[in-house]
Structure 1
Amino acid sequence: MDTILDPNRPAAGGGAPADAIRDGDQSTFMQDVIEASQQTPILVDFWATWCGPCKQLTPTLEKVVRATGGRVKLVKIDIDKNQALVRQLAQMGLPLQSVPTVVAFWRGQIADLFQGALPESEVKKFAEALLKLAGGQTPAADLLGEAKAAVEAGDHAEALQLFGQLVQAEPENPEAFAGVARALMALDEEDQAQAVLAQVPAKIANHAEIASVRAALELAVQGREASAKLGEIERRVAADPDDHAARIELAVALNAAGDKDGAAEALMAAIRRDRDWNDQAARKQLLKFLESWGFADPASVAARRKLSTLLFS
């Protein structure tokens, strides 16, 4: 599991370009910052060798910038070696009395700044706000899009890597955790998927995405058991149409085989014949399917419509 959520894993698309982080000085400031910011948002890290907080902040800045994959660049300037530049910037109203000071440039202008060694989460927010100002998409949004595309393509190993990176970028993103768990399930690593769900922060533990994966995991276990005796279950249903326990097992087996519509119809048949059987067990099983499939899944939409018609007719 540690390899999946490795914070040192490169960002999607091969990571940041080689020139995303560089040391600057007063002779290159115009080119590296003012001119470069016409195309790409630039963070300038004003630091000093004697500054303890600078030593804490600079590695964080570098990590955040690398995670943007080149959408934001970082220029580091030692204020002691570039005092003429510091004086010039001070005359322009840029406060550099203390370090670290981080200044965001966009289109040749100062967009924002902060002073002091902020925690990584705050630095991420600062960089993302700069990206939004520049009209760019955040790296997390890109990762999510790439991960979903990998799922659509059936490349669950790639989806696992991308969702894992997204968990690192946004540790309270329920779609990221759910994506990791679903990818592991698709790769027949259900124990790993359970371990991932055990790591879900309490803040998002009851989110619909997380609940959906939990339901899917439970159904996967039931599905294997039912699939192993599918022939027997089908014979029971054929012999006794009112064997609702067998219909529910049939639905579970069909769902495990990927036949969502067939699974829903098996339960609908049981509900039509006796909706109150065993404390409405067929309806409750169908709701569990819908939860695991997700609200927007076409099979969920169709099944909800049929269930509504059946219950309120």
Structure 2
Amino acid sequence: MSGAVDLSSLKQPPAGAPGAGNGSGDYTVGEADFETRVLRRSTQVPVVVVLYSQRSPGSVELVRLFETLVAESGGAWDLAAVEAESNMRIAQALRVQGIPTVVAIAAGQPLADFEGVQSEPQVRQWLTAVVDAVAGKLEGGEPGEPEPEEDPRFAAAEEALERGDLAGAEAVYEAIIAAEPENDEAKGALRQLRFLERAQGLSPEVLATADANPSDVEAAVRAADFELFNQQPEAAFDRLIRTVKVTAGDDRTAARTRLLELFELFDQGEPFVVAARRKLAAALY
């Protein structure tokens, strides 16, 4: 698989996206910590990403097998267990076709993979081949290697988010932008945060309300927020594009403006963003 899969879209995950904590023995990884715990970690040792589903007992058992084996590995490799249905961007980036799928990442790139449940001897053999393939080729986390210095302002915002203080985090990002109007990282974080503030309290009823009256812009934008919050960006984009088609004047402008705001929450090279921009252009002209 090496070189065949582009993981760059996962290097800047959405703020507040689902992810696991980093407690001892917790190998669960989501979009929020994929860059740190998989891409960056894989510059030191290979990281085995197991994409599984809670609805697939066989895939859950495979995760447990890998948890046992990584504990025995002596740090030769690391493990990331990704619940595929909750982390569709990861599954799409890794071109997952079936569950379970196991992908070894080294130096930020896929190295080897397999699909389906395997026996313990087969898994051990595969792991040995992965470790041997990268022996002496990774940085290995040399002592004294300088770590990038963290901006204390962003650290303060992250601490506020961990406390559930969204308003506090928003104030920090606004202060950064006031001091540095061109700080794209702060702008992106603020967009993500404001989206979360809007979307996290929405319920499925907003979908029925919007479906009942497609020209109701306020209902449409709320329903689109709900869909995006629930990992359905294509559905959210299509809903607002339909609203653009059936409205005019200020209503049309409001629907288009919200759609453009939602686009900005993603890497602009994402295929579903590119496709939605084309649909929007067709709807407008």
Same fold (TM over 0.5): no
Q: TM-score w.r.t. structure 1 length? A: 0.40
TM-score by length of 2: 0.43
> Of the two, which has the highest radius of gyration?
1
Name the structure, 1 or 2, with higher relative contact order (CA <8 Å, separation 6+).
2
